[in-house]
Amino acid sequence: MNPATNEEMKNAKTGPDPAAGLICPVPIAEYKNVLLAHGGGGRLTQQMVRKMFLPSFKNEYLEPLHDGAVVPFNGMRMAFTTDSYVVNPIVFPGGDIGELAVNGTVNDLAMCGARPLYLSAAFIIEEGFPMADLWRVVLSMQTASRKAGVELVTGDTKVVDRGKGDQIFINTSGVGRIEPGVEIHPNRAKAGDKIILNGPIAMHGIAIMSVREGLEFETRIESDTAALNDLVMTMIGAGRDIHVLRDPTRGGLASALNEIAETARVGITISEDRILIDEEVKGACEILGLDPLYVANEGKLVAFVAPESADRVLAAMRGHPLGKEAAVIGEVVGDHAGTVVMKSRIGGYRVVDMLSGEQLPRIC
C-alpha cells in the first residue's frame, strides 16, 4: 500500500484509518502538538498513556500500568522497567543526572517488590558536551550502581548535533527478580490499609529549582535521590502483606496517591500534619507558589500495608537509614472511591486532585 496521510485515507474512504482503532483519541483530537504537560506526570500524561500507548500496545503485562512490568520467566517472576532522564541542570545539590538514572530505575523495580539485578544505559549526548562532565556522570553511575547492588550490563551511545539535544539524556532499563509470596501491585490497595511514607517530601524538586536558571535562590536543600531497594527488602522482610509500593517522583505525593486510588478504585484519606516537610522546603514552596504535595521526590516511597502488619513494617523502616522518619500518613477507606481526601492542618477537609498539567506558580 502506498503511504497516505490520515486525511487522504479518510477522504478516500478506502483502507483502515490508523486512528480509528483507538478507543478515544482525546490527546490527538484536543492537542495538535505535544505540550510539556504531556510529560509532567499529571492528567495529560495519564491521558496520553491510557488513550494512545495502552490501546496501541495492549497486553496483560502493560495493562496494570505499574512502575514496571511483571513478567513470568522460567517459573520465576521478573520485573522489567525503563525510564529516561532529562534533568536540567545535570548537576544539582545532592546529586547529578547519572545517580538519578541508576536510582530511578532501581526504584521502579523495587516498587514492584523486585530485587534489582541488571541495568542497561543508553546515552544521547549533544556534540560539544565536555568530556570531564561525562566522566563525572559515568563515575556517579558507577558509585550508585555499586551502592544499589546492581550491575550495568549493556549500553548504547549516540551523539547528536549541537543544539539538537540538551547536553545529555540518559535512558536506563532494568530487570529484577520477585521472590515468591511477594504480591505488590497498585490494584491491591484495600480499605483499612495503612499508608506509610518514609520521610520528608518535595526535596528533589525544590533542590533542582534552586539552581535552575533565572530562579536561583540560596538554600541548604539537597535532592533526596537514593536507591530504595534495600529499604524495600527490609520492609518485605518485616511483613509480606505490603499491598502497594510507589515512589512519588514526578507529580509528587499527590499524583502517586491519586493514581493508586484510581487504579484500585479505593478512597484515600491522609492527614496534612503527618506529612513531613523540611522548613526550608516549605519556605521555598511559599515563595515560589508551589504545593509541596505535587513536587518531585527521588528517594521517597509510600507503602500500603495491611493494618495488622503496619506497626512491624513501620518499625523496620525506622531502623533503616532511609526510613528513620517514616510515619503513617493516612489510610485506605471504604467511601469516595478514586478520590484522595486530606484533613488539613486546621481540621478542614479537601480533595487532593491530580494536576491537570504542569504545576504553574500562582501570580499572587
The site for another protein (CB under 8 A) is made up of 30-37, 43-44, 47, 214-215, 273, 279, 282-283, 286, 288-289, 291, 335-336, 339, 341, 343-351, 353, 356-357, 360-364
Closer CB to another protein, residue 14 or residue 344? 344
Q: Taking the complex as a whole, how short is the minimal distance between the CB of residue 220 and another protein, in angstroms?
A: 15
Element (H, E) at 133: helix 131-148
Closer CB to another protein, residue 9 or residue 288? 288
Q: Taking the complex as a whole, how short is the minimal distance between the CB of residue 364 and another protein, in angstroms?
A: 5
Residue 60: partners with Cβ closer than 8 Å, 6 or more residues away: none
Q: Taking the complex as a whole, how short is the minimal distance between the CB of residue 354 and another protein, in angstroms?
A: 9
Q: Taking the complex as a whole, how short is the minimal distance between the CB of residue 35 and another protein, in angstroms?
A: 5
Closer CB to another protein, residue 203 or residue 231? 203
Closer CB to another protein, residue 51 or residue 77? 51
CA torsion 246-252-256-258 (nearest 10°) is 160
Residue 319 Cα distances to 120, 150, 227, 312, 323, angstroms: 32, 23, 16, 11, 7
Q: Where are the beta strands (DSSP E) in 35-166?
A: 69-73, 76-85, 91-92, 95-96, 114-126, 151-160
What 8-state DSSP symbol labels residue 264?
H
Closer CB to another protein, residue 139 or residue 215? 215
Q: Which residues pair with 308 in a beta bridge?
A: none
Closer CB to another protein, residue 146 or residue 345? 345
Q: Taking the complex as a whole, how short is the minimal distance between the CB of residue 25 and another protein, in angstroms?
A: 15
Q: Is residue 364 packed enough to be buried (19+ CB in 10 Å), middle (13-18) or exposed (0-12)?
A: exposed
Q: Taking the complex as a whole, how short is the minimal distance between the CB of residue 180 and another protein, in angstroms?
A: 39
- Residue with the three cell numbers 495502552: 54
What's the one-letter identity of residue 21? Answer: G
Rounded Cα distance between 275 and 302, Å, is 11
Rounded Cα distance between 210 and 201, Å, is 16
